[in-house]
Structure 1
């Protein structure tokens, strides 16, 4: 019996083993190798990602679109490719399959951030532009504006200069304020920032730009200059992914001002002297005979000021991943740029972490960023000092502590000393910034969601400026007195911005009707404090603290009113978005804002907007055109925004101490210190407002391969704040201080924007994009007799105070226009001299510039000036253009072939004028190479005036002799890359290795003769003024991108 049981047991064991063997065989039989080909629009698609659904098993198609993959016979394969709809294909036991992918004609359904929410692009009714990360990272820069240039129609970006760490000036659809800021509002993940948020390009996922008032009105007063919405990278569910991007490059200055060498410089001196004395000259050069030692040197200071092959590098790492309900993303970047001018540089470290948590009805998003910046600034007007440095002077050694001048000219010795001091000056700023935000969403029911969002940004910076101690001795070893005192200055500043918002969002579908209602309450507070202290006369250069200096201590704070500046805004907003069947679109919003910058009388204001859209291509009557014109949408909007972004306490009275008065009887008068009122209080200052109308259309052709968008706008700026100059009898201040700030100005911006994009998939895939922007600005109203105001700090070269200003505010012209005395060639004949001399009191000579007597007198009574007044003076200044371009264009191109890729970005600016101050400065110093060809009795056809000294009228800065065409086209970026084959990498757990070389600004096409025609500077007064600005450099890089 036991035996039988044992046998039975063995049989059961054998049967069990046999069952498992058969089962394994069946499983093995169900695993199959699937081969096939993937095409789209009749072409093979290389690089299509193929994944076995629910697993990590995958592959990609080869160059001919072929693939091979092992999988279960009952599995599902997922095919994905950029520009095409994802396809899920069941295997169903097949060993071969050919897949035809369909173009993603719903590309316009991608999500666009519109402020307090998102919309499908197809449903957007305002003027909104978008730039993705792939386009931003092409630029070797830490500046967001530089990366945006030419990418979005209607967004004007001009470099302030080429210094490391400098910020570009960004304006959206023209200047939005005159006394206030025209900069856009930056919003990062829903939180407003005070200025550029200083993010690394690798942290950013997308940038959406709200251009029209209807789109920006949701941000009320903060959106007066347009809105830049930045969405940072977020994690996605799945295994952890790591990306690493690094590059190293060199930079150089590729242009310059042509300067004279010593022999030519001495020739020019002799030539100028001969002309001034009315004599001719031969081959005997008096300066050489009298001072042969001057030929010892041939110095050009730019040789040691410019830092050729300055390194630039960037290293970035990103980690992301997560599981259901919790995702994360962390990005860190180190950017380091050495300046192409010595004693300048910039480096920055950024790290940012984002998390998204979802559970039940709750979702919580958090973001936290931290950055450290170190900024070294080149000495002020460093290049201009090089232009005026005599080439026969000795070359400077920046490492010496003292210098002994070999000749008797102590003036030249002082020049040596002043220049050497600049080589040793130090100006360093360290900045720490921190920002954090949290957004919590609670789904009350399926239609209603409550959101609370809070944000905090904090900035702390310190700056130290050292003017070193330097001694110069004459040939006898005696100390030469210096007018350049050593000293140290410390500055410290901090700012903090906090935001809290409560938002209710209701979204519901009623049959074919879709409605979304948003209501929100917003509160912001901004605080800023600044302090400085300085002392003169350092004990020695090794002690650079305040106590290391001996004399003249000075301290100061940020304003005349408070050590701490504090302001706040409150806002209530509502928005309704409605569409019927996705065809008929309406969006209406209203925001009521309050700002502490105004008195109680004008503290609050309301800003409404309305926009509509019509997707014509969704109508039945459009069906026959659909294969060709796949999208046609019309848009129109009207909106109002306010602006309070002007100087704090502009409405307050200003009383300043330490002003001198003369008191006492005539025989015993003396100076007594007192106080003076420099500005009146004005509680009637109110909001500047912008009322904007926009119409536009969007077209898509051939399944949206080709897309065209256009917008036409007209924006009226009303109640602009301007300074109204008061008569001296009022007794308030002097000069430019004798004014009161009033809402007395109006201005108009109108223009058009075009965007064209095309993409072609296939074996050779490529895409191209074109942007066109034209904006016309005009000041349409100024106060009373103040129809023209010359802007402070707008001299081209140093001259007579308040006489050499060239930038103006003038009714009927664009803000920041140039008003110059026009020139009409050279006085090259006695007849011209005799006719011209009565206009200038008989002070002209042959070889001088001939100024034009402007038409200022109405001789026939028709109200139009038709004759000059017979006197050449400052009243003869006329409109001569401006530093703003007439129109701009951007062109982007990218292509992929097998494992190779190429991309390029062009930017062009047309019609801007540039005042070539670098040329003017070197003319005045007598060092410009043009002076070899100046007018003389032997060179009567020259267009270059005779050099009669730096203070002569020939070289004054207020004439159009220095005005040049600033039109240019620039290849901003070009990159060529190679990606290692994916099938080779995946065996080692690597998903991407890309090697690339790139160049930034390698080509600039322009007629401008200065360093660079892109002269943005930082204000209306200096736009288009080249005053020895830090030049924009070219850079060349090699980089590696890795993904795991």
Structure 2
């Protein structure tokens, strides 16, 4: 009985076991038939995302990615869909299909309004900002392969104007935020890199930048006090992340070619003009002796191939390459980011090159729940070869290599165009290759930057932070002046004149900074509707600089630059100057309070006190307050039903910032150590500064008012900002001339300047699909500046000094009621015609019809004004100028405003698109309503250069058939008969190039409005299924063209130019600029 029961139970148990095994086998068979999918989940920059969720849609089947971002999951069928998700990122759905591997990149889910923005000594959500702030992400920078970060700002931000002086690899890039403000001092914005103030962005690798923030109004900049008057640019570099080690390698290689040449006369036209010039210049007229010495019959040069000297010197095929290696990773305790970047450019000009090495390491250590440590070290080494376009001091008439290149004869003329010609006699007879070799330069710049930070969470919501920084900069500058240069021929010591010289400059700068801040967030302590944040801080900056300059002259005449640098003992030491600046110390105390009520009404107030060693007594301290309010209108109850509105905020701010941007040592008389024989050929060991001290100097102050609106609609598909502003700068720091005192000038506080304007920025997402996308970023800025006062000074003129013989000498005006950049000169009235003269048939002389009758008072109905005092003897075909004051004579009294370098508005448009694996980007920028002073146009349309201006080439504006001519091409003689002369010039439109002086007139002031396609990029990102087989995370190829095209009416090589960079008083001059190039780059972005 018992056995029977056991048997029955065993039978039932066997049945259950068999049933279980059958079900298990069926499930296992089903599992074997289910598709298995694997892959990796990455973020937008190709970094793996550990812990991301992977779910089969409509089921509970899911998995998570491992520390490398990898996953594996089985799904029901090929029709299944996988949903990838992670906190802070947008969900992404993928159809399985026949794929065995699915790699995805998740986009950040953070809206533009929730984006965290870096501000002064802290961060803030964009939606909580009360000031005018703009940002550019590192991802946007990555799409523009450039050598200098500043170039990436071009046309990107409303109210921020970025211009380069010329096209050389190390050209000065000028940034002006809302027009600047100072008259004679630098109006550049303060540049902050990882909390540390620097002089330039040049030494920061673009690939190492996480984001850039631009602070534009006083509510944002006043926290920086004395240094924030003209805006603040905050650069944040990359740091490590708490995940697996990720390696990125970015490389590009490109070629550069000159964008545009200055067209010059061909050999026959050149020879024909030389022949006519000889006839006109001889005494008596009609002799061709000066021509026959070097030329054959001008007709014989027809078809002769010209030497294109611009192509020979500036028309090389330049190359640029960049290599960037980054290693990024970390754990919960320690994160790191290492970056090495190399940029190497061989430019389009002979002997011009640029090479920069950047090395950086960023470490962050979380030693405990309360303490964080940070350490950053950066090193850069930059080497620049070649003198570029201009000489060091920009004072001589031969200070530019371009003048040699454009004006040099297009044909070889034995006995005239020689390698040994002294440019003091005629710079236009110096062979361009000799001119470049004899005016050479080498610069070596090193920059070492070390930053450390200590952060302590004292209690919840209260944090103390201390930052320390050391910046060491060294610049070695070697300038070589060969025997043909103006410098060599004008050495005071006669025995050394005409011999090569070497000027060596060693500049050392050191800056130490310490800042200590306490942040306290009272969120929730005063109730859920009230939020307070406090910041208190102290900062100390100590800056030192020392420059030693040595001049060695009298080298053997055959010495090259290389020999002069390596064999300095072969020259004669002439002077050693040691310019040591007193320490520039700044001590500051500052605070900021942020309050919001119901996340609807926002208030920000800041206050900063700066004490500067540049000022004395009561003037030492400057006090800079600011206040701002904002109203989130979309948070109001009456807007709750406006589903189309995502954000609408109104901002209002008022604040004060300062400027102490003058050289140190202006409050007490300083001296420099100088062993020199340049002063009356007598050795001098101490020389007083040329600038008189002023113990009463005080802070220059800028008051800013700003009204702004931020909005976002249609699910953030359309967003933008509108800002109205007014900035008034008073107590301007002006270097005031003090003639008769024994000094050249003295810094004084005097006058006021004003900028006001309107800025508009719009972002639109037209298409936002998984495989398609199209977006637009548009900005435009209107700025109007005005000089409100010049203090005790009267309106005054200033010279651009592009030529020492030009008239008028002061070609810029600084007038109350007008902006800086007003160009001064004569008004062109075409040319004198035959009918303006009476002709003496006996002598063959032309006499200008008198402006007044014999009584000297009554105007002659047929009278003609005379400008012979300016251009020399007036004859038919001579340039004619307008008589502004109607006295019959054109002279200095007839000078007037003829141009304005200030644009009515500037802006930019960036278009981004993607189609499947392809991405596209086009970036435009423009300027409208500004004039450029085309000094090249004047320079190369006349023979005014003495004594051998005859032999230089001219631009095609003076081509045969366009210029006035007196030459009978058949007989080869001068035409004197009035009827024949008028008939000979019936179709010509220009005046004769022959004149004694360079005349500045409105003919050379050109509308330089332009629209430029600055950058165009097309990229291709390899599919994830492909790159996963290669063991990499992301692979992107791209091609970028820079300076693609420019639409403009400007006749010069490029409308975006300003070459007289020694003073802000003469903007917009185009004189012998290093030509701008067009670049095509092929690149690769690779992430492991």
Q: TM-score, normalised by structure 1?
A: 0.84
1:985 equivalent in alignment to 2:1027: yes
The one-character-per-residue Cα deviations of 1:712-737 (angstroms, maximum 9, x if unpaired) are: 10000111022444464xx434xxx2
Distance (Å, rounded) in 1 between the aligned partners of 2:920 and 2:446: 37
Q: Which residue of 2 aligns with 1:967?
A: 1009
1:505 equivalent in alignment to 2:547: no
Match of 2:378 among 369, 389, 408: 369
1:440 equivalent in alignment to 2:454: yes
Alignment of 1:566-715 (within 5 A): 566-627=583-644, 629-653=645-669, 678-715=690-727
Question: Which ranges of structure 1 fall in alignment gaps of 5 or more residues?
Answer: 1-14, 37-46, 61-66, 472-480, 663-669, 855-866
Deviation of 1:783 (Å)? 2.9
Q: Which residue of 1 aligns with 2:351?
A: 343
Alignment of 1:23-172 (within 5 A): 51=54, 54-56=64-66, 69-70=73-74, 79-80=84-85, 85-86=90-91, 106-172=111-177
Deviation of 1:905 (Å)? 0.5
Q: Which residue of 2 aligns with 1:745?
A: 751
CA contact (8 A) 1:299 1:395 kept: no
Match of 1:935 among 955, 964, 981: 964
SS of equivalent to 1:142: coil
Deviation of 1:929 (Å)? 1.8
- Counterparts in 2 of 1:684 and 1:59: CA distance versus 1, 3 Å: closer
The one-character-per-residue Cα deviations of 1:560-594 (angstroms, maximum 9, x if unpaired) are: xxx24420101100100011121111000100001
Match of 1:292 among 277, 292, 296: 296
Question: Which ranges of structure 2 fall in alignment gaps of 5 or more residues?
Answer: 1-15, 39-48, 55-61, 391-399, 486-494, 838-847, 850-862, 943-951, 966-980
Distance (Å, rounded) in 1 between the aligned partners of 2:881 and 2:208: 55
Distance (Å, rounded) in 2 between the aligned partners of 1:467 and 1:35: 70
Distance (Å, rounded) in 2 between the aligned partners of 1:724 and 1:773: 32
Distance (Å, rounded) in 1 between the aligned partners of 2:686 and 2:1081: 60
CA contact (8 A) 1:257 1:919 kept: no
SS of equivalent to 2:272: helix
Deviation of 1:237 (Å)? 1.4
Q: Which residue of 2 aligns with 1:757?
A: 763
CA contact (8 A) 2:867 2:881 kept: no
Q: Which residue of 1 aligns with 2:742?
A: 732
1:1035 equivalent in alignment to 2:1079: yes
- Counterparts in 2 of 1:59 and 1:982: CA distance versus 1, 3 Å: farther
SS of equivalent to 1:918: helix
Distance (Å, rounded) in 1 between the aligned partners of 2:456 and 2:262: 63
Distance (Å, rounded) in 1 between the aligned partners of 2:729 and 2:427: 55
Distance (Å, rounded) in 2 between the aligned partners of 1:593 and 1:126: 22
Deviation of 1:678 (Å)? 4.9
- Counterparts in 2 of 1:831 and 1:320: CA distance versus 1, 3 Å: same
Deviation of 1:182 (Å)? 0.7
Match of 2:874 among 840, 844, 847: 844
- The two structures, once aligned, show a CA RMSD in angstroms of 4.1
Distance (Å, rounded) in 1 between the aligned partners of 2:686 and 2:327: 63
- Counterparts in 2 of 1:279 and 1:840: CA distance versus 1, 3 Å: closer
Distance (Å, rounded) in 1 between the aligned partners of 2:22 and 2:438: 85
- Residues 309-318 or 138-147, more deviating: 138-147
Distance (Å, rounded) in 2 between the aligned partners of 1:445 and 1:470: 72
Q: Which residue of 2 aligns with 1:892?
A: 910
- Counterparts in 2 of 1:437 and 1:330: CA distance versus 1, 3 Å: same
- Residues 386-395 or 914-923, more deviating: 386-395
Q: Which residue of 2 aligns with 1:799?
A: 805
1:188 equivalent in alignment to 2:193: yes
- Counterparts in 2 of 1:394 and 1:424: CA distance versus 1, 3 Å: farther
- Counterparts in 2 of 1:334 and 1:848: CA distance versus 1, 3 Å: same
Number of residue pairs aligned between Structure 1 and Structure 2: 952
Q: Which residue of 2 aligns with 1:312?
A: 320
Deviation of 1:963 (Å)? 1.2
Distance (Å, rounded) in 2 between the aligned partners of 1:28 and 1:576: 67
SS of equivalent to 2:634: helix
Deviation of 1:28 (Å)? 9.6
1:464 equivalent in alignment to 2:478: yes
- Counterparts in 2 of 1:390 and 1:34: CA distance versus 1, 3 Å: same
The one-character-per-residue Cα deviations of 1:810-860 (angstroms, maximum 9, x if unpaired) are: 211111321222222222253485334456569533222222333xxxxxx
Distance (Å, rounded) in 2 between the aligned partners of 1:19 and 1:650: 96
SS of equivalent to 1:239: coil
- Counterparts in 2 of 1:19 and 1:353: CA distance versus 1, 3 Å: farther
CA contact (8 A) 1:272 1:946 kept: no
- Counterparts in 2 of 1:838 and 1:490: CA distance versus 1, 3 Å: closer
CA contact (8 A) 1:50 1:77 kept: no
Q: Which residue of 1 aligns with 2:333?
A: 325
- Counterparts in 2 of 1:140 and 1:552: CA distance versus 1, 3 Å: same
Distance (Å, rounded) in 1 between the aligned partners of 2:621 and 2:365: 38
Q: Which residue of 1 aligns with 2:993?
A: 947
Q: Which residue of 2 aligns with 1:920?
A: 938
Deviation of 1:57 (Å)? 9.4
Match of 2:554 among 503, 521, 537: 537
CA contact (8 A) 2:306 2:411 kept: yes
Match of 2:1057 among 1002, 1011, 1015: 1015
- Counterparts in 2 of 1:371 and 1:740: CA distance versus 1, 3 Å: closer
Deviation of 1:661 (Å)? 12
Alignment of 1:536-575 (within 5 A): 536-539=553-556, 540-541=559-560, 542-545=563-566, 547-551=568-572, 553-558=574-579, 563-575=580-592
Distance (Å, rounded) in 2 between the aligned partners of 1:724 and 1:280: 50
Deviation of 1:491 (Å)? 1.4
Q: TM-score, normalised by structure 2?
A: 0.80
- Residues 813-822 or 102-111, more deviating: 102-111
Deviation of 1:652 (Å)? 3.8
Deviation of 1:148 (Å)? 0.8
1:527 equivalent in alignment to 2:544: yes
Deviation of 1:922 (Å)? 1.8
SS of equivalent to 1:538: coil
Q: Which residue of 2 aligns with 1:268?
A: 273
Distance (Å, rounded) in 1 between the aligned partners of 2:835 and 2:29: 107
CA contact (8 A) 1:335 1:347 kept: yes
1:811 equivalent in alignment to 2:840: no
The one-character-per-residue Cα deviations of 1:369-392 (angstroms, maximum 9, x if unpaired) are: 111111113353111111221223
- Counterparts in 2 of 1:157 and 1:20: CA distance versus 1, 3 Å: farther
Match of 2:264 among 241, 251, 259: 259
Deviation of 1:395 (Å)? 10
Match of 1:209 among 204, 210, 214: 214
CA contact (8 A) 2:67 2:244 kept: no
Alignment of 1:458-497 (within 5 A): 458-468=472-482, 484-497=498-511
SS of equivalent to 1:238: coil
Distance (Å, rounded) in 1 between the aligned partners of 2:377 and 2:685: 52
CA contact (8 A) 2:500 2:555 kept: yes
CA contact (8 A) 2:63 2:72 kept: no
Distance (Å, rounded) in 2 between the aligned partners of 1:774 and 1:485: 52
CA contact (8 A) 2:218 2:626 kept: yes
SS of equivalent to 1:847: coil
Q: Which residue of 2 aligns with 1:360?
A: 369
